[in-house]
A and B are shown apart, each in its own frame.
Chain A
């Protein structure tokens, strides 16, 4: 993985993501190691995403590396009309690795082609966000002790949720059974289902959340956004049907964990937060270890 960019989850093989997860485990035990003290990581956030940026910056700082960059395109030369190519080429002169988030789809792939340092995609529009996917795999493996033979439910907006799409595609490398819970309007696209069929894995579709709870090991919740519905009445009809509360978890499997990419709006009731099934805050923390592992692997120090 040394010197390679990570733009899309498909850029790395199954063995490579397992390697990253293994290194992340080491960082979880010992997150402060001065192994990046001669390295500069640039974080270029052409659109703001405080959560993701802080996770990357914390990951670099704990390893003794330095961070340069910007958190919002309005405060940079981008606003003066500089091309993406020029910005990337300039920043590549000053850094060993570039982490970028950009509102346009394909921007990170393009950056990886013009940059002479590796690029980590921290989100390119609605397209890819591979480090979210890696931290989700890490959280699943950590809570279940394995990635194979699991029953995994994805709940909410399965049509537009890029996180769901990349997680499903990555998980088809393992022998999982998928359970998809969504309103009819927001079903998983057939292009993503094709990946499951290609691997001869099983999937089931539901519109009722409570139906799936007793059978699954992982319940991956996502947000349903009003603007995804062409008819506001359709949103009103479904908006409360995909909210998880404490009572609904009665009768779930003992090992069940609830995941969510955060931020949540109201799809997980706060009464779930203190239950042993709630894992979403730990999940976000795992993002730091996974990003440390990824950067260390790409920079060739692990």
Chain B
């Protein structure tokens, strides 16, 4: 009996091979899910919201079994989860741990705030260049207007 319980807990907490995304702001967990298209992942995906964190108070976390991300792919989540940490696990060991970083070009994640922009009126994926990392200013590749932190809305 005792043995079975321990095993059950292991399934939830430990990952043999895969990726853990830790320190996600709790409100952003579902957005991260969407950006990384995790619904389509064919293996186990576990997530937690409002877990306790020394750093953030409350945090979110996602564990993805047998999935390893390319750097460009994972950096897409930096806009919604700038605090996120990526942990890569192989054979139950942490082999890599790093902070996500906002990429220099942001494609099809953010909506252009200019209502008269062609991307808000035709079926066109958005594309921005990061022009200010500190203040998070994104220059629209199409209408050439800047979408700043306070105006950011996700697609």
Residue A65 interfacial (CB < 8 Å): no
Residue B13 interfacial (CB < 8 Å): no
Q: Are B114 and A105 in contact (CB under 8 A)?
A: yes
Q: Are B144 and A128 in contact (CB under 8 A)?
A: yes
Q: Are B122 and A105 in contact (CB under 8 A)?
A: no
Residue B67 interfacial (CB < 8 Å): no
Residue A23 interfacial (CB < 8 Å): no
User: Is the interface on chain A under 10, 10 to 19, 20 to 34, or 35 or more residues?
Assistant: 10 to 19
Chain B's closest residue to A83 (CB) is B122
Task: Determine, out of A106-114, A177-185, A214-222, A252-260, the stretch whose residues face the partner at the interface.
Answer: A106-114
Residue A8 interfacial (CB < 8 Å): yes
Contact of B124 among A103, A110, A126, A128 (CB under 8 A): A110
A-B contact count (CB 8 A): 52
Q: Are A110 and B144 in contact (CB under 8 A)?
A: no
A141 to B144, CA, bound (A): 28
**CB within 8 Å of A: which B123-142 residues:** 123-124, 140-142
Q: Are B123 and A105 in contact (CB under 8 A)?
A: no
Residue A5 interfacial (CB < 8 Å): no
Chain A: minimal CB distance from B92 (Å)? 47
Q: Are A105 and B117 in contact (CB under 8 A)?
A: yes
Residue B56 interfacial (CB < 8 Å): no
Residue A125 interfacial (CB < 8 Å): yes
Contact with A along B90-125 (1 / 0, CB 8 A): 000000000000000000000010101111011110
Which 7 residue pairs of A and B lie closest in terms of their CB atoms, listed nearest first? A106-B142, A105-B143, A106-B143, A106-B118, A104-B118, A107-B118, A109-B142
Contact with B along A185-221 (1 / 0, CB 8 A): 0000001000000000000000000000000000000
Residue B145 interfacial (CB < 8 Å): yes
Q: Are A106 and B144 in contact (CB under 8 A)?
A: yes
**A286 cross-chain contacts in B, Cβ below 8 A:** none
A104 to B116, CA, bound (A): 5
**A110 cross-chain contacts in B, Cβ below 8 A:** 118-119, 122, 124, 142
**B112 cross-chain contacts in A, Cβ below 8 A:** 106
**B122 cross-chain contacts in A, Cβ below 8 A:** 83-85, 104, 107, 110
A89 to B143, CA, bound (A): 21
**A131 cross-chain contacts in B, Cβ below 8 A:** none
Chain A: minimal CB distance from B34 (Å)? 25
Q: Are B145 and A105 in contact (CB under 8 A)?
A: yes
A265 to B142, CA, bound (A): 31
Q: Are B118 and A8 in contact (CB under 8 A)?
A: no
Chain A: minimal CB distance from B124 (Å)? 6
A124 to B83, CA, bound (A): 38
Contact with A along B61-74 (1 / 0, CB 8 A): 00000000000000
Q: A125-B116, A126-B116 are in contact. Are A104 and B144 (CB under 8 A)?
A: no
A85 to B144, CA, bound (A): 19
Contact of A106 among B123, B140, B146 (CB under 8 A): B140
Residue A127 interfacial (CB < 8 Å): yes
Q: Are A104 and B117 in contact (CB under 8 A)?
A: yes
Contact of B116 among A83, A84, A103, A128 (CB under 8 A): A103
- List 26 A-B residue pairs with CB atoms under 8 Å apart, sorted by A's residue number: A8-B144, A84-B118, A84-B122, A85-B122, A85-B124, A104-B116, A104-B118, A104-B121, A104-B122, A104-B143, A105-B117, A105-B142, A105-B144, A105-B145, A106-B142, A106-B143, A106-B144, A107-B118, A107-B142, A109-B118, A110-B118, A110-B142, A125-B143, A126-B116, A127-B143, A128-B144
Contact with B along A1-13 (1 / 0, CB 8 A): 0000000100000
Chain B's closest residue to A104 (CB) is B118
**B142 cross-chain contacts in A, Cβ below 8 A:** 105-107, 109-110
**CB within 8 Å of B: which A57-83 residues:** 83
Identify which of A106, A110, A125, A127 gathers the most chain B CB atoms within 10 Å of its CB. Answer: A106
Chain A: minimal CB distance from B37 (Å)? 24
**B140 cross-chain contacts in A, Cβ below 8 A:** 106
A125 to B146, CA, bound (A): 16
Chain A: minimal CB distance from B123 (Å)? 7
A106 to B127, CA, bound (A): 11
